[in-house]
Structure 1
Amino acid sequence: MKKKLSLFCIAFLCFGNGMSSLAQERITAINQLLKHLNGTLKCSIKEFNGTELRAEQVFHGSTLKTKSGDWSLRLNTSPVSGQPEVMDVSASFQLKKGLAKATAVSVSFDFSSWSPKNYVLVPAAVYNGNRYRSIGNGYDPPYPEDMYYNPSVPLTISNNPRLSSQEGEAAVIELATGNVATPAMCFFSEKKKKGFVVLTTQRSRLGSNGLSISENKRKDSCSFNISAPAVRKMAAGFGDFHLSNDQAPDWKAGDEVTLDFKVYLFDALNIPDLLKKFMEVRKALTGLNSPRNILPMSELFELSTAICKGNFIEVPAGSYYKPENNNDFQLGWVSGMMNTYPMLALNDKKERDRVMAELDFVVNKLQGKSGYFFGGVKASGELIPEKMNAGFKPAQAMVRKNADVLLWLMKHMLLLKAQGYGKSVKTEWENAAEKLAAAFVHNWKKDGEFGQYIAPETGEIAVFNSTAGAIVPAGLAMASDYFQKKEWLTVAQDAVRFYYKRDVENQGLTGGHCGDISQDADSESAFGFLESLMALYYSTGQKEWLDKAEVQAALAATWVFSYDPVFPKESAIGKLKSSMAGAVWASIQNKHAAPGICTASGDYIFKLFRATGKVRYADLIRDIQHAHSEAVNRPGHLTTNGLAGSSMERIQLSDAEGKSSIGNFINTRNSWTETNGVLMAMELPGVYLNLDQHRLYVFDHVQAEIQSINLSGTTILLHNPTGYDANVSVMAETNKQAEKPLSYMAFLGWPKVKVKAGESIKLLVKPGAGISMLTLNKS
């Protein structure tokens, strides 16, 4: 008998000659599915000594005899109606007789004719196999000298689980499902023009499942393995590894466990096709999640802006809202000069004056001679250099922070004008924004990219590569319209095409956006680049940007919990019974999720939903908003050691920081998580209604349904199930209105409806010269 049996042979031996013709058809269908990628299925029993694999024995039928006992295997398969590229499979393992010590069970997909050029994806953990140069052995490793002022620097990541880029070197990636945003493993074969996705569940009765990928030295075969439970030699930390202390369980006669999974094998022309398929199916096995309506967006807005009001300080460096827990100022990235935006939206004179004082401080204190800004300043007034190597001067700053400055400075000026305070916009601010935009354009023309770190005094790119400039095109597009510089929009479009081709289409990742990682794949650049794509759609109305935005949204979705994970019952999250689908993972180095996008509302996801009509985008941003609310501190729902409305950046399912950290918040606050919550409350409608399509979608923590439609308009029943009064924004529009890209200031025009805690009201929404609403009655 051949060593590698086809899936048909395995199933035939498992079920015997008496299996029905229907079963034969199903097995043949799976066999044909895997055959396109030279794949076979293997079911096995693995015996361990600690975390060392002592023996593996493979089922060649429905029974297996080992030294420790007799095992049985039930392999059930079922095709999905109308979907020939997908199959539901479950493998049930039972110890019929004997006693098995330290044993795990596994199902693996073994692929021959493998190529190291295949794109390998494990959501939030592995992108393009993580086959990149690696540096350091810990959190935020320093850059070696060869990375500075070197346009040819290769993409460089921290010490993360990865396949090898070296010839003749085998590699194994060992993960638990707690390491990933969706329990899945995927790859795309350029040679065969096929994509593969296997979805599984987070855990069995034995604990978290294991996910591993093993590639041989010749790199011509690779195995994707799902095990119950996870038994890893080493667990991945924040840029390093530590002993996992995983344990395989002991089995007694009668013990049984089942692994469920869903297999997709489909035609794919490129990496974007794989990404789009993943987004389409990421909830297919775990099912729809259950977001809880617990905190109306208006209440969150009030709580978090109250915190920000109390964090305005005047120090020797200047006057500003603290973006951190100390008095130092950090620009962009983690909410410096971003938390000012909702404060400006309050339309309160005191806060408006404070915001203007901070803008003055940023423009006058932090802008370098080249037009670029330094990334931070101590309260004493001393500038803070970033990612510096002692051998190189002058001081440098993050490109990502400078992209934030351009985008948010433009948004502040636009908001002031939309509020009727256009005369308050200072020439100094406009000059600073214009000078920064010109610096980006200069570097694009000179270097053909924006780089990762720049020297604000000289304008030179200090560290090249990565997608650190993901948000730059959005800022350039806005500045182009504001200052009437058509060339800047051309540069924005050229830059987006460049980054899309190099990073998204060819590598299936964006990265280098965070200030505490190397050039690792990260969620912030994924969402930031989506911001730029939708900005170009707003500026041009061209479908090209929507098409690319759909791919980018799919890449961004790989970073977001697609299901409600189970946390330890005694953990903080477990005790709160929080539904965490929608939490956003940070990067392949920083192995944790967080409440919301750093740092943005994600309104561009809503805009993509509105432009395409595809509900998966609405679901994505709704999930993100609701997961954020689960992390907000308030009476009876404590998540920080701070004030009501505070939040922090840890939603930890992995053991990267030790098993004791799983499900436990860190007892502090993070301004950026509070800021993105307030931004979501501002820039996302509570309820969206398309009057022509009768499409109703709820983003806020309320319930809504269409009760009637007639010549008078559309009647909506709105109910507030929370313990807080809500002020719900309602966006209603016709098909014709929906054809126009949504402006940045659209939220100012959304009417709001007050619904008290536990109250239900009816609304009549009627089209006319505009959209008007009338409260009919309350109950």
Structure 2
Amino acid sequence: MTPPFEVTVLGPADSTVDSTALMVTQHVTAYDGGRFAVRLTVTAAAAVTAGLRVSLRLGPVADPGWLVPGVFYGENRVAGCRVRYPRFTVDHPDPAALESDAWSFRADRCATPAVFAWDDEGGAALVTTEWSPLGQAGVGFAVDEDEDGGHPVLRLHFPYREEPVVYDGSPVPRPADLPSYTWKPGETASLDFDVYVLGGDRHSYTDVLRDVHGRTAARDLDAVPWVSLAEAADLTAWGLYRWHYRDEDAVLLETAAFDRDALGERGDRQAMHVSWLSGIPHAYALLRHGRRVGDQACVDAASAVLDNITANLTPGGTFWGQWTREGGWNAGWTPDRRRVHARTLGEATVFLQRAVALGRAPALWTAAVGSNVDVACAGQAADGSLGSGYDVETGAVIDRHGTSGLAWIPALVSAGRVTEAQRAGRFYAQAVRDEFLYGAPEDVDLAPTSEDGYLAIMAYVSLYEADGDREWLDLARRAADWTLTFRYTYDVDFPRHTLLGHYDFRSRGADQASPANQHLHAYGLICHRELVRLGEHTGDEYYTRSAEETLACFRQFVAREDGDFNAYRGMVTERYFQTACYQPKGMLLTLSHAWCVGVLLLACEESLG
């Protein structure tokens, strides 16, 4: 039996219309797995301007566990987070502070246009597609209070509504966006969506997303990329070397402007992070490529960058966060200038270890690995937690907020500090089971992000491969399932006049960066190797296919020649704007980012062997 849902006719903005103006009939088909496919046939009795809302009300619960893939995770913004973006709260919400007890979003913000919630008995999901005959669809949720308590209400909108305010990437909200559709007398439209009935296990969202992923399988992956793996590797190696490497400073600059004539060096960010936005992971990829193809220039450039970073450790024994031409070595983007970020340090250490493992590594590199690992181990608490921030002068842990300490685990495993890695794995396991990982990037403070998921995948795959404990494999699987909530299961429909529309960019396989940074990015390629291995260890093709889709997706928009999409050969952008956030939908950020070039090169080299 289909869970009872309600269809409401909504007028323009907050006005009401005669509900009899639209006649609605429904046809429901039941499928295995608790899925009910619903088709609403809507006919206008007279000319009217209106939209429709589908609502599904659950039983009372204290915590609904909201999930809108890529957009909303639980309360979404923890108390004390410095970055402002949509937050759920029933405690005197302030829309001006991007707080509300009810939110609605346009579908293209969502990695899958779906909304999930649970009550004390079980859960449910509403799933739709980006577009309907009434225009772009939307998803939403609210809390309905009665004498029993707060009831989660799941919503779909045709066309979409964004309320109570609109988030466009700025901390200052924009007014609500409430489009309607103008019906002609006698006009009929069919609206399709799915209702899923879920059990009490809140991880069951993955069954729904797997089902959607399987039913919306992309066409042959070979038809998506612009270039082969080998061509992508050659192009990105050239891009890192030509546009980001600066011999005089031995750095990989974080950004290089597409427009070299008008902006030149002034358009390039004169800075290098030691990992994340630049630095060691990407120098490692360049080194690996140079050795594979016999390109000494690439080998020399990558080695110079690694020499530079490892020769300049903090007094506390860690890497610095960032180098800038103006100020030299510094803590990075953390507001506390004494604090270096655990994710930046841990990720740098992991990929330096991989560079050492290639052989012919200077003693300086090995010593830097040992120094960073020693600091991480010295700061590990009795409960197994690792630091999130470290003092540049002493190496002492400054704070343990969030789950960025996961970044250390693969480094500890590789360094033979398996006992410490296991203790950390057990500590962070609860966050994985709670379906909320946060705090990895330096620029969004304590927001949940796709990058937190990448760290968890790398951490638990490394632990499983170290000792074979099936608990780690289960945690790696759960971490991957959560991470793949950020991954687009469909190709966004871009306006044909835009750059992404003109080039027919296929978004399936791309990740939403985070609820705070709503654009598509390629950082998921950082754990391409681990996701493929997880598929092999579990025998689950879902993970393997997901990894392949991401690598295929981002072999689009690699500049093949100077002038390709207004870039230079080997350049790769950071941001693909798939929704109304930061820039209009369909635009492309006209900067090449070292990390975007680097993670694609890394994944290509991993695939090429």
TM-score (normalised: structure 1) = 0.71
| 1:226 alignment partner in structure 2 | 156
Map 1:361-376 → 2, pairs under 5 A: 361-365=308-312, 367-376=313-322
SS at match of 1:43: strand
- In the aligned structure 1, how far is the partner of 2:77 from the partner of 2:320? 32
2:242 paired with 1:313: no
Task: Give the aligned residue type for 1:72.
Answer: M
Q: Would the aligned equivalents of 2:118 and 2:152 in 1 still touch at CA under 8 Å?
A: no
Q: Would the aligned equivalents of 1:330 and 1:336 in 2 still touch at CA under 8 Å?
A: yes
| 1:120 alignment partner in structure 2 | 66
2:490 paired with 1:547: no
CA shift, 1:447, in A, is: 7.6
2:415 paired with 1:479: yes
SS at match of 2:26: strand
| 1:647 alignment partner in structure 2 | 572
- In the aligned structure 1, how far is the partner of 2:508 from the partner of 2:554? 10
Q: Would the aligned equivalents of 2:77 and 2:86 in 1 still touch at CA under 8 Å?
A: no
CA gap of 1:412–1:526, structure 2 versus 1, over 3 A, is same
| 2:302 alignment partner in structure 1 | 355
Q: 2:530 pairs with 570, 595, 604, which one?
A: 604
Map 1:345-744 → 2, pairs under 5 A: 345=288, 346-347=290-291, 348-365=295-312, 367-380=313-326, 382-387=328-333, 389=335, 395-415=338-358, 417=359, 421=360, 425-445=361-381, 448-480=384-416, 488-501=417-430, 503-506=431-434, 508-597=435-524, 600-634=526-560, 638-639=564-565, 641-657=566-582, 661-684=584-607, 729=608
Q: Would the aligned equivalents of 2:111 and 2:488 in 1 still touch at CA under 8 Å?
A: yes
- In the aligned structure 2, how far is the partner of 1:356 from the partner of 1:386? 22
Map 1:255-266 → 2, pairs under 5 A: 255-266=187-198
| 1:86 alignment partner in structure 2 | 35
Task: Give the aligned residue type for 1:47.
Answer: G
| 1:340 alignment partner in structure 2 | 283
Map 1:28-43 → 2, pairs under 5 A: 29-30=1-2, 34=3, 40-43=4-7
- In the aligned structure 2, how far is the partner of 1:246 from the partner of 1:360? 55
CA shift, 1:557, in A, is: 0.5
- In the aligned structure 1, how far is the partner of 2:134 from the partner of 2:467? 54
Greater C-alpha Rg: 1
Map 1:61-140 → 2, pairs under 5 A: 65=20, 70-80=21-31, 83=32, 85-95=34-44, 97-101=45-49, 103-111=50-58, 113-130=59-76, 132-133=78-79
CA shift, 1:495, in A, is: 1.0
| 1:726 alignment partner in structure 2 | none
Map 1:174-323 → 2, pairs under 5 A: 174-189=104-119, 191-192=120-121, 194-216=122-144, 220-233=150-163, 234-240=165-171, 241-269=173-201, 271=202, 273-283=203-213, 286-288=216-218, 291=221, 292-310=224-242, 311-315=244-248, 318-323=249-254
Q: Would the aligned equivalents of 1:91 and 1:260 in 2 still touch at CA under 8 Å?
A: yes
SS at match of 2:492: coil
- In the aligned structure 2, how far is the partner of 1:157 from the partner of 1:563? 32
CA shift, 1:645, in A, is: 2.5
Question: Residue by residue, what CA displacement relative to the aligned partner does 1:592-633 show, whole Å, maximum 9, x if unpaired?
Answer: 112342x61511111111122211112101110111112222
Q: Would the aligned equivalents of 1:651 and 1:665 in 2 still touch at CA under 8 Å?
A: yes
SS at match of 1:338: helix
Map 1:737-776 → 2, pairs under 5 A: 747=609
CA shift, 1:377, in A, is: 1.4
- In the aligned structure 2, how far is the partner of 1:395 from the partner of 1:168? 34
CA gap of 1:623–1:43, structure 2 versus 1, over 3 A, is same
Task: Give the aligned residue type for 1:500.
Answer: A
SS at match of 1:643: coil
CA shift, 1:100, in A, is: 0.8
CA shift, 1:232, in A, is: 2.2
- In the aligned structure 2, how far is the partner of 1:303 from the partner of 1:469? 34
- In the aligned structure 1, how far is the partner of 2:219 from the partner of 2:407? 30
- In the aligned structure 2, how far is the partner of 1:84 from the partner of 1:581? 24
- In the aligned structure 2, how far is the partner of 1:573 from the partner of 1:354? 33
CA shift, 1:464, in A, is: 3.0
SS at match of 2:281: coil
**Structure with greater proportional helix content:** 2
Task: Give the aligned residue type for 1:547.
Answer: D
Q: Would the aligned equivalents of 2:271 and 2:323 in 1 still touch at CA under 8 Å?
A: yes
- In the aligned structure 2, how far is the partner of 1:279 from the partner of 1:544? 23
Task: Give the aligned residue type for 1:320.
Answer: V
Task: Give the aligned residue type for 2:39.
Answer: S
CA gap of 1:287–1:427, structure 2 versus 1, over 3 A, is closer
CA shift, 1:284, in A, is: 5.0
CA shift, 1:572, in A, is: 1.0
Q: Would the aligned equivalents of 1:534 and 1:546 in 2 still touch at CA under 8 Å?
A: yes
CA shift, 1:250, in A, is: 1.9
| 2:255 alignment partner in structure 1 | 324
Q: Greater shift after overlay, 534-543 or 377-386?
A: 377-386
2:4 paired with 1:55: no
Task: Give the aligned residue type for 2:199.
Answer: D
Question: Residue by residue, what CA displacement relative to the aligned partner does 1:32-62 show, whole Å, maximum 9, x if unpaired?
Answer: xx3xxxxx310111112xx3x22266xxxxx
SS at match of 2:371: helix
Q: Would the aligned equivalents of 2:500 and 2:588 in 1 still touch at CA under 8 Å?
A: yes
Task: Give the aligned residue type for 2:52.
Answer: V
**Is there any run of 5+ residues in structure 1 with no aligned partner, and where?**
1-28, 35-39, 58-63, 135-155, 481-487, 685-728, 730-746, 748-779
SS at match of 1:259: strand
Q: Would the aligned equivalents of 1:397 and 1:455 in 2 still touch at CA under 8 Å?
A: yes
Task: Give the aligned residue type for 1:539.
Answer: A
Task: Give the aligned residue type for 1:164.
Answer: T
SS at match of 1:600: helix
Question: Residue by residue, what CA displacement relative to the aligned partner does 1:456-496 show, whole Å, maximum 9, x if unpaired?
Answer: 2122333431111222101110111xxxxxxx211111212
TM-score (normalised: structure 2) = 0.90
CA shift, 1:455, in A, is: 1.6
Question: Residue by residue, what CA displacement relative to the aligned partner does 1:112-158 show, whole Å, maximum 9, x if unpaired?
Answer: x3213221111011111326326xxxxxxxxxxxxxxxxxxxxx363
Q: Would the aligned equivalents of 2:488 and 2:507 in 1 still touch at CA under 8 Å?
A: yes
Q: Would the aligned equivalents of 1:583 and 1:596 in 2 still touch at CA under 8 Å?
A: no
Task: Give the aligned residue type for 2:428.
Answer: Y
CA shift, 1:517, in A, is: 0.5
Q: Would the aligned equivalents of 2:132 and 2:158 in 1 still touch at CA under 8 Å?
A: yes
SS at match of 2:43: strand
- In the aligned structure 1, how far is the partner of 2:586 from the partner of 2:387? 36
| 1:758 alignment partner in structure 2 | none
SS at match of 1:226: strand
Q: Would the aligned equivalents of 2:384 and 2:420 in 1 still touch at CA under 8 Å?
A: no
- In the aligned structure 2, how far is the partner of 1:159 from the partner of 1:274? 29
CA gap of 1:341–1:131, structure 2 versus 1, over 3 A, is closer
CA gap of 1:245–1:225, structure 2 versus 1, over 3 A, is closer
